[in-house]
Amino acid sequence: MHWLFLLLAAGAFFFALHTPSQGLMVLALVASLGLCVAWIRGRYLEKFGGPQQDLATSIDPAELLRMRQQAEARRAAVDGTSPDSTREGNN
């Protein structure tokens, strides 16, 4: 889909080269530049995956263990059981 931005940028640049009005030419060149930036951004996001990251790989294993223990303690507090009894039931 980002290739559409490149096509539109080329069209805006072609329009800027062939328009007799200086104001339209400047507007078309600015539009062409903006569409080129949008195309580059889309290509970058396609190649490198954007801001989505695998959260499991970004958390330290010790921190992940601590978070699991906290979740077990909260779950046990809600259930009214001790955290040790839930751990024994999982073995």
Domain count, the chain: 2
Nearest CA to 8 among 25, 33, 44, 45?
A: 33
- pLDDT for 32 equals 97
Claim to verify: residue 9 and residue 44 sit in the same structural domain: yes
Claim to verify: residue 72 and residue 37 sit in the same structural domain: no
Claim to verify: residue 67 and residue 86 sit in the same structural domain: yes
pLDDT in tens, 22-46: 999 999 999 999 999 999 999 988 8
Claim to verify: residue 25 and residue 62 sit in the same structural domain: no
pLDDT at 54 > cutoff 70: no
Contact criterion met (CB below 8 Å) for 18 and 12: no
What percent of the chain is modeled with pLDDT above 90?
54
